[in-house]
Amino acid sequence: MSAFNGWENFYVIVGSSAGALIGLQFVVVTLIAGRPLGRAEAQAGGAFATPNIVHFGVVLVLSAMVSAPWNEVTLVAALWGIVGLGGVGYVVLVSRRMRLQGAYVPVFEDWCFHVLLPLSAYAILAISAFAAQYDAGPALFLVGAAALVLLLIGIHNAWDAVMYQVFVRPRKDG
């Protein structure tokens, strides 16, 4: 019996949700694309909007990887470990972009949901790759937790961005 047995429904739900939310992000960006956009707002997009697509994309990729018919956990654990390490590096880049952009002054909630929580999720993903070499069962729970946290972070951040566009940005333009 494979260590992946029993995870199919979880990853169908999580992966499908991530895919749908990627599509929804594109709809939202299309709807706000007609607004005037300066250099500062474009930089803010790289700091606050693009990470949502990356997080949703990572969840979709993880769902596909873990749902594939692997015979053993070693190779897929190495792959999700690479994804985790890449995510850690990406969060460092996002942190830098947040500091350098000038359209918005990030508050604690922004640092928490754009840096601290994603960094934790990606670090757990990377660490779980090593843990999988010893005991795949608990490691798969860590992967599932990281995927779910990234999905929820993306949902929070997408909602936060929409609320900013609806309630804050029009006051500046008008």
pLDDT, tens digit, 9 for 90 and up, residues 26-74: 887 787 777 666 776 777 777 888 899 999 999 999 999 999 888 889 9
Band (pLDDT 50/70/90 cuts) for residue 169 is: low
Distance CA 39, CA 45 (A): 10
Band (pLDDT 50/70/90 cuts) for residue 151 is: very high
pLDDT at 174: 47
Amino acid at 36: P
pTM (two decimals):
0.89
Task: Count CB atoms within 10 A of the CB of residue 159.
Answer: 10
Distance CA 118, CA 96 (A): 14
- Cα 173 to the center of its chain, rounded Å: 30
pLDDT at 36: 65
Amino acid at 58: V
Distance CA 74, CA 173 (A): 53
Distance CA 145, CA 147 (A): 5
Per-residue pLDDT reduced to its tens digit, 65-91: 999 888 889 999 999 999 999 999 999
Angle at 64 between CA 62 and CA 68, to 5 degrees: 120
Angle between helices 117-132 and 136-163 (to 10 degrees): 160
Across the chain, what does the average pLDDT equal?
A: 88
Residue entry with tokens 């018919």:
69
